[in-house]
């Protein structure tokens, strides 16, 4: 999904994203939390990959290199807290829906954001928030109607002569919310123990391949969804039917052929189909090499 695409959520024509990436990270000893790497990717880049469908992505923090292009913003004065930071980010957006995210969500993905946006669009609510396994609202993993946020920001600013130092719960207290429970996507990294937990989880057998493919695509700047099962089957057939080194070489050649024919999931699937058929023919000949061809 590219930045020009819509969210894919029913009833949503498009959305913007505001990512809050400031803060002192005191529980990490002042470490640069958005830059901490999990699965080879900075936490901030993982969150930016999840909101790649946004028309505009605003990161409220000091500028830094990122895997995806973003708009930078900062609150005045610096260190004004999450409400002031959100106000600064929201001022750079124009869409009717906005996802608001912290920069420390290692397991957030585009499907989760589609669920949030779909839940919001299909209801009369003003926001849709993820809840963790204990039912607590995670207001920095949420989708909101932009007009509702702007209304509440203006109200708070009038009541408190500004937004500095206000907690986020004050902002969302008067919003009608729908809630979606997702203990994994709502997991955030506040401590080094949390980071260790996240690093362990992505290396578990059922997660490691998807995590690796996502990391490689980000590193190479590839925005392409392909059926990895097809490629794995091809690698297996090439390894068993030809020779073990044939597996990586064949998958490389499939990718090269797909790129030459214009790229896209269909091109990869067609090149993989042809190569898999060739590998099977090769293996069939090897198992019957002493028999004459009777056809």
Contacts of residues 259-266 at CB distance under 8 Å and 24 or more positions apart, as own/partner, are 263/224, 264/224, 265/224, 265/225, 265/226, 265/227
Q: pLDDT of 29-75, one tens digit each?
A: 777 889 999 988 899 999 999 999 999 999 999 999 998 899 999 98
* 131, pLDDT greater than 70: yes
Q: Select the more confidently predicted residue: 215 or 251.
A: 251
Structure tokens at 186: 């709502």
Please state, in angstroms and rounded to a whole number, the distance separating the CA atoms of residues 54 and 59: 12
Please state, in angstroms and rounded to a whole number, the distance separating the CA atoms of residues 214 and 39: 10
Place of tokens 């930071």: 85
Q: pLDDT of 67-110, one tens digit each?
A: 889 999 998 888 889 999 999 999 999 999 999 999 999 999 99
Give the DSSP H or E segment for 86. helix 82-90
Burial class from Cβ neighbours inside 10 Å (0-12, 13-18, 19+) for residue 151 reads: middle
In sequence order, the 6+-apart residues with CB closer than 8 A to the CB of 197 are: 187
Please state, in angstroms and rounded to a whole number, the distance separating the CA atoms of residues 114 and 100: 13
| CB-side neighbour CA atoms (13 Å) of 79 | 2
Q: Is 282 helix (H, G, I), strand (E, B) or coil?
A: helix
Q: In terms of Cα–Cα distance, which of 139, 42, 21 is closest to 88?
A: 21
DSSP type of residue 62: S
Please tell me the pTM assigned to this model: 0.79
16 pairs with which residues across the strands?
98
Q: pLDDT of 166-181, one tens digit each?
A: 999 999 999 999 999 9
- Grade residue 8 by pLDDT with cuts at 50, 70 and 90: low
Residue 204 phi/psi, 5-degree rounding, is -70, 150
Q: How high is the pLDDT of residue 226? A: 73
Do 208 and 214 form a contact (C-beta atoms < 8 A)? no
């Amino acid at each position: 999904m590219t930045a020009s695409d819509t969210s894919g959520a029913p009833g949503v024509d498009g959305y913007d994203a505001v990512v809050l990436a400031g803060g002192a990270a005191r529980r990490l000893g002042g470490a640069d939390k958005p830059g901490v790497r999990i699965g080879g990717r900075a936490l901030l880049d993982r969150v930016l990959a999840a909101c790649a469908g946004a028309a505009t992505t605003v990161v409220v923090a000091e500028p830094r290199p990122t895997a995806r292009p973003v708009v930078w913003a900062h609150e005045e004065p610096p260190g004004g807290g999450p409400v002031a930071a959100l106000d600064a980010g929201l001022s750079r957006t124009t869409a009717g829906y906005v996802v608001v995210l912290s920069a420390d969500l290692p397991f957030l993905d585009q499907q989760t954001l589609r669920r949030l946006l779909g839940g919001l669009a299909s209801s009369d609510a003003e926001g849709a928030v993820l809840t963790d396994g204990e039912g607590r609202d995670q207001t920095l993993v949420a989708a909101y109607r932009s007009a509702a946020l702007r209304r509440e920001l203006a109200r708070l600013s009038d009541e408190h002569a500004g937004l500095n130092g206000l907690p986020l719960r004050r902002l969302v207290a008067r919003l009608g919310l729908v809630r979606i429970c997702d203990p994994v996507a709502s997991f955030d990294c506040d401590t080094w123990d949390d980071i260790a937990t996240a690093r362990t989880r992505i290396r578990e057998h059922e997660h490691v391949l998807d995590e690796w493919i996502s990391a490689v695509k980000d590193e190479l700047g590839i925005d392409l969804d392909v059926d990895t099962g097809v490629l794995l089957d091809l690698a297996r057939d090439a390894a068993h039917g030809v020779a073990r080194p044939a597996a990586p070489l064949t998958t490389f050649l499939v990718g090269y052929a797909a790129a030459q024919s214009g790229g896209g999931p269909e091109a990869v699937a067609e090149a993989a189909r042809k190569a898999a058929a060739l590998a099977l023919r090769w293996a069939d000949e090897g198992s019957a090499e002493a028999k004459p061809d009777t056809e």
